[in-house]
Amino acid sequence: MTHRQSPRHRYGAGLVAGPDRLHEPTAVTALLDLARRDIERGRLPACQVAIARDGELIAFESFGEADGETRFHAFSATKPIVASAIWLLIGDGLLDVSRPVCEYVPELATDGMDAVTVEQVLLHTAGFPTAPMDPVDGADPQPRRDQFARWRVEWAPGTRFVYHASSAHWVLADLIERLGGVDFRDFVEQRVCRPIGLPRVLGVDPGHDDGIAPLTAVAGESAERDELLRLFTDPAVRAAGVPGGGAILTAADLALFYQALLHNPGDLWRPDVLADATGTIRCTLPDPLLGAPVNRTIGLVVAGDDGLHALRYAGFGEGNSPASFGHAGAHMQIGWADPATGTSFAYLTNGLGDDQLREGVRGVRLAGAAAAL
C-alpha cells in the first residue's frame, strides 16, 4: 500500500507541493516509480523518498508498510548531522580541528592516541577504526571515557583512510558534551534540529518508539546485517543515540537537513565554516574497498569531477554535479545536496539485504533519477 504524507513545511516560502509543481514532472515520476518497483516486487518492505528545493519539500512519498509519519533508521547517514554540531563548536571558537584530540579528551592521551588530531577523527584517518564501544556505555560519559583510556591506534594516524563505522563519532559525541556543556543528543536537538524545524533524531526513549519502521532482513544470510538487526532493534541502543549511525527520522527530515546546509537559514553555522565543511576536500586517500579517492571533508563526502562519484560513500548518481555533497548509510540509506541545482534528496528503507552490490546499484539508480532534476 502506498501513502502520501500530509504536506510539511520547514523554513521556506510557499507550500509543499507534489511533482506537478516541478518543471520536471516526468523525472519525479521516474524516481518514484523506481522506488515503488522494489516494494511491488517484494524486494523491500517499505521505503521513503523525499526531494527538496528552495528550503521546502517538493515531493515526499512513502511506499509499502509505511506512511508519511513513519521514521526510519538512517545508519551512517547520521554522521553529517553529528558533524554539523561539531561545525557549530568550530564557529563558536571552542574547537580547533588541527589540535590533538587529547587536548579536549584527556582519556585519549594513551600510547599513539595522543598524535590523533580532531581533523583526522572527522576524516576517518585517525587509526582506530575498530576501537570498541558498547552503545549503552557510549551514551554514559564515564563508561565512555573509561573505554577511551583503553583504546590504542592500529596504524599511524593520517597515513590511511579506513572507515571508522562508529568509533570516531563516539569521540565527536564526547567533544560535543565537553565543549557544548550538555548531553550530545540534547545538543544536536537544541542547536541543529530545532533551529531548522526538525524533530529530535538522536535518542529515542523507550516507550516512544511507535512509528519506527521495523528493521527487516531480506534475501539471504549476512553477518553484518544480522549485527545491525541485533543492535538497532534494542530499545536501549535506540535510546543511546549512536552518533555514528543511530538517527531515526523520515526521508523528509533528511532532505530538509541538506536544504539547511545549502541555505544556512539564520546563519545557523558560521558561513566560512559551513563552506569549508561542505566544499573543502581534505582527504583524497583511496577507499580500501573501491579504490577511489574518498573525497572527504570534515563530515561529508564530495562527488568530485573525476567521474568516480558513484564509487564514493554518499549515494551519488549520474548527473550529480562535482560540488554535490552527502553521506550514505548501511544498506543504501541516502542523503545528499547538489548546489548546482539546489536540490536535496533522501531515500530510506527498512529492508536489509545480503548483497551490497545489488543495494549499491539500486542507490545509484535512484540517485541518478533524483539528480536528473
252-270: average pLDDT: 98
- Tens digits of per-residue pLDDT, 197-236? 999 999 988 877 789 999 999 987 788 888 888 899 999 9
Mean pLDDT for 321-333 is: 95
Res 15 pLDDT > 50:
no
Residues 123-138, mean pLDDT to the nearest whole number: 97
Q: Do the domain assignments include residue 342? A: yes
Q: Structural domain tally of the chain?
A: 1
Q: Evaluate whether residue 213 is within a structural domain.
A: no
Q: For residue 9, give the C-alpha cell.
A: 513545511
**Is residue 16's pLDDT more than 70?**
no
Q: Within a domain: residue 339?
A: yes
Confidence at residue 358, expressed as pLDDT on a 0 to 100 scale: 85
**Residue 307, all three cell numbers:** 567521474
Distance from the first to the final alpha carbon of the chain: 26
Q: Is residue 179 part of a domain?
A: no
Q: What are phi and psi of 181, to 5 degrees?
A: 85, 5
Report the pLDDT value the prediction gives residue 217, as an integer from 0 to 100: 92
| pLDDT band for position 2 (cuts 50, 70, 90) | very low
Instruction: For residues 234-246, give the mean pLDDT.
Output: 96
Q: How far is residue 95's CA from residue 343's CA, in Å, rounded to a whole number?
A: 31
% of the chain exceeding 70 in pLDDT: 93
189 within domain boundaries: no
Dihedral sign for Cα 154, 157, 158, 159, please.
Answer: negative
For 267-311, the pLDDT digits (tens) are 999 999 999 999 999 999 999 988 999 999 999 999 999 999 999
From the list 85, 4, 90, 18, the residue with the least C-alpha distance to 52 is: 18
Give the pLDDT mean for 46-61: 96
pLDDT number for residue 89: 98
Cell of 149: 583510556
Query: DSSP secondary-structure letter at 70?
Result: -
Residue 27: which pLDDT band, with cuts at 50, 70 and 90?
confident
For residue 187, the number of C-alpha atoms closer than 13 Å in the C-beta half-sphere is 23
Q: What is the pLDDT of residue 21?
A: 44
Q: Say what the pLDDT of residue 24 is.
A: 54
**Beta pairing partners, 73:** 248
Residue 277: inside a domain, yes or no? yes
Give 22's pLDDT tier (boundaries 50, 70, 90). very low
Look at residue 11 in the predicted model and tell me its pLDDT: 34
Q: What is the pLDDT of residue 25?
A: 67
Compute the radius of gyration of the chain from its Cα atoms.
19
* pLDDT given at position 356: 82
Structural domain that includes position 40: 3-71+246-371
DSSP 90-146: HHTT---TTSBGGGT-GGG-STTGGG-BHHHHHHT-SS-TT----HHHHTSHHHHHH
Could you read off the pLDDT of 161-190 as tens digits, one per residue?
A: 999 999 999 999 999 999 999 999 999 999
Express as a percent the part of the chain with pLDDT over 90. Answer: 80
Question: 51 is written with which cell numbers?
Answer: 526531494
Specify the higher pLDDT residue, 22 or 249: 249
pLDDT of residue 373: 79
More confident residue, 221 or 51: 51
pLDDT of residue 99: 98
The pLDDT score that the predictor gives to residue 304 is: 97
Q: Which candidate, 102, 114, 108, 99, places its Cα nearest to that of 131?
A: 108
In a domain, residue 79? The reply is no
Q: Is residue 26 part of a domain?
A: yes
**Is the pLDDT at 264 greater than 60, yes or no?**
yes
